[in-house]
Structure 1
Amino acid sequence: MNPFILFGREHLSAIGLIILASIFIPVYVKKHVPEEKEYYIRLVLGILIWGQEISLNVYRVIYQEWDFSNSLPFHLCGFAILMLPVMLYKKSYALYEILYFWGLAGATQALLTPNIDVGIPHYRFFQFFVSHGLIVFTVMYATVVWNYLPTLRSLAKASVLTLFLLIPIGLINILTHGNYFFIAHKPETASVLDYFGPWPLYLLPMIGMGVIMFLVVYTPVGFLKRKRKKVLTLDKL
């Protein structure tokens, strides 16, 4: 079994493929796919998102790895995976404005410091990057194809909801002896939390880092809004 190497060739290649797909495929769909056919793309995308999650649970059951402490969808990316197909089916802006931040901040952080210890050709390597890559891709898809963009109110909603979830997730961790949201202890694999001190001292900087990440992914929104406004102005001329 090949070990996973942080920022090794396989890791960087996976990130590169996700970035390219998340940029060029939505642009192509927006320019060349009519609205009545775009529905089927959303449908397939939703099936892929839930399908890979089902495959992960089947894998864990087969290899006797399924456990309440680590197999429930109670990480931020797990919530995103549950909600993204609903957003796709309904073209829901209310879900988008939350998932924009969970996807671009949460899944991106996961892709940069994956919580896995195996590399190619192990199933878990491919499943991890497909799972988190689909989160990023779907958020970019909605942003480009549907012209959705979050607002400052969206930023506030996502921040408050994420902080609110810490309480029930903490209770779930106690009941399951789990580590959802990584608030019971640090991940077993290398992560930025390693620089934040021992438990529980790392929790405050972890929350602060989350807020900063939300602000970082919101930064391009102003530029995109100005660009779209300029395009609309030119179209009217």
Structure 2
Amino acid sequence: MTYFWTIQEHVPDGLGFRLFGIAHLLWLGGIVLAVLAIALTCRRWKPETVHRLLCGLTWAALLLEICKDGVLLYTGQFRPNYLPLDLCGLSIFVEFAAVRKPRPLLLEPVYSLSLPGACLALLFPNWFSLPLWNFFSLHSFLLHGLLVLVPAVLLARGILRPNWKRLPFCFTCVAAACVPVSLVNRHFGTNFFFLERPSSGSPLVWFEQVFGSHLIGLPVLMALIWAGMYGIPAVLRRLCGGRR
């Protein structure tokens, strides 16, 4: 319990968990099983029940973030880099709004931005230097798990129907957000959206080593991820349609 309430910057080296080590894989496996179980089960529920579930999940994500900020303020550890200005932090509010106003232009960013952002954060967590039994480590796993679960439920129920034609809107949203975020980064020395430096252990490190700048990797990875998220389902639908 010595470092349970301690932020990443104050934890000594060597106390964290290994990327794709047993503990990390157990967390990933648990999240995947929970998401699949809930998403498949909710397909048999009444719409009102599903809506209550989604509202509860988005409230849980928001309260987790508020609780984190409360702990940081109470313990005197609050820093600008803990503001919810990264992609996953903003996704909390996007998903909260999309569940209550399920319109295409709100739902599409949930699929194209929130879902892959949360998945990548879980695969390459930038909190791996924290002990597993640490409030901020537990918070990060749970929060990102919720950010994956919400779009999974929306997809399972057919509320969210991805359409690649809305991708320009999503890209514009990200590009527009980069402007104020980069100003915040410069003023406070933060690294929101990984605009200043790549996250340790992430694919962006490779781009920095090979091309001299990790920023090249941001649009490349985005294009590859979107190609998979929209292209693979389209191919599968065409194959299934052809068999009929």
Quote the offset at 1:194 in angstroms: 1.8
Unmatched segments (≥5 aa) in structure 2 = 4-14
Gap runs ≥5 in structure 1? none
Tell whether 2:89 aligns with 1:78: yes
Call closer, same or farther: CA 1:224–1:148 in 2, change over 3 Å: farther
Residues 144 and 207 (structure 1), Cα distance of their counterparts in 2 relative to 1, 3 Å cut: same
Percent same amino acid among aligned pairs? Answer: 24
Deviation at 1:102, TM superposition (A): 1.2
Please show how residues 17-166 of structure 1 align to structure 2 within 5 Å: 17-31=30-44, 33-68=45-80, 70-116=81-127, 117-166=129-178
CA drift at 1:227: 9.3
Q: Is the 8 A contact 1:120 1:126 kept in 2?
A: yes
What secondary structure does 2:162 align onto? coil
Q: Does 2:144 match 1:169?
A: no
Question: CA offsets, 1:177-226, max 9 Å, x none?
Answer: 21111111233x33222212269722112321122122222234325756
In the alignment, what sits opposite 1:14?
27
Please tell me whether the aligned partners of residues 170 and 183 of structure 1 are also in contact (alpha carbons under 8 angstroms): yes
Could you tell me whether the CA contact under 8 Å between 2:197 and 2:214 is conserved in 1?
Answer: no
Q: Identify if the C-alpha distance between structure 1 residues 119 and 152 changes in structure 2 by more than 3 Å, giving closer, same or farther.
A: same
Q: Give TM-score scaled by structure 1 length.
A: 0.86
Describe the superposition over 1:103-123 as per-residue Cα deviations: whole angstroms up to 9, x where unpaired. 232111111110111132111
- The residue type equivalent to 1:30 in the other structure is R
Deviations 1:61-117 (Å, cap 9, x if unpaired)? 12322122x022111111111111111122333211011011232111111110111
8 A Cα contact 2:151 2:160, kept in partner: no
Segment of structure 1 superposing worse, 51-60 or 150-159: 150-159
Cα deviation, 1:134-155, whole Å, max 9, x if unaligned, reads: 1111111111113422111122
CA distance in 1, matches of 2:119, 2:203: 13
- Cα distance in 2 for partners of 1:125, 1:196 equals 27
Q: For the Cα contact (< 8 Å) 1:150–1:221, is it kept in 2?
A: no
Distance 1:79 1:136 in 2: 14
CA RMSD of aligned residues (A): 2.4
What SS does structure 1 have at the residue aligned with 2:133? coil
Indicate the larger mover: 199-208 or 102-111: 199-208
Residue identity in the other structure for 1:180: F
| Gap change, CA 1:43 and 1:229, over 3 Å in 2 | farther
Aligned counterpart in structure 2 of residue 182 of structure 1, from 187, 194, 205: 194
Alpha-carbon distance between aligned partners in 2 of 1:73 and 1:227, rounded to the nearest angstrom: 41
- Amino acid in the other structure paired with 1:17: G
CA contact (8 A) 1:77 1:103 kept: yes
- CA 1:220–1:65: 2 relative to 1, 3 Å: farther
Distance 1:64 1:126 in 2: 20
Per-residue CA shift, 1:28-55, capped at 9, x if unaligned?
A: 1111x21222232122112111011111
In the superposition, the TM-score normalised over structure 2's length comes to: 0.84
Alignment coverage as a number of residue pairs: 228
